[in-house]
Amino acid sequence: MINSLFAERVAKLRTENNMTLETFGELIGLTKSSVGNIEKMRKPASLDVVYKIAEQFNVSIDYLLGRTDNPEINK
């Protein structure tokens, strides 16, 4: 999935949490370059990666995908 809003939100969440590309990649099982490619929309993120990103930042997948501007997970 390549979506500019997704890429922007991943980058924003990563930087707001003071994570480097390398640190974030290690947490979700990707290389530094893979995370950079996702943030620059050069590489699509698999559903598994989208899920891991949402879990890492405790936000909803709908927020990451731009379906809502509310990052909270509805339970």
pLDDT in tens, 12-66: 999 999 999 999 999 999 999 999 999 999 999 999 999 999 999 999 999 999 9
Tell me the one-letter amino acid at 29. G
Which pLDDT score is estimated for 1? 53
In whole angstroms, give the CA distance from residue 38 to residue 48. 13
- Contact between 61 and 74 under an 8 Å Cβ cutoff? The reply is no
Radius of gyration of the chain from its Cα atoms, rounded to whole angstroms: 11
pTM of the model: 0.90
- Pick 4-65's CATH classification: 1.10.260.40, 3.40.640.10, 1.10.150.120, 1.10.3720.10: 1.10.260.40
pLDDT at residue 75 greater than cutoff 60: no
Which pLDDT score is estimated for 3? 82
Which pLDDT score is estimated for 74? 67
Angle formed by the axes of helices 47-57 and 4-16, to 10°? 30
Which pLDDT score is estimated for 2? 60
- Tokens 């922007």 belong to residue: 8
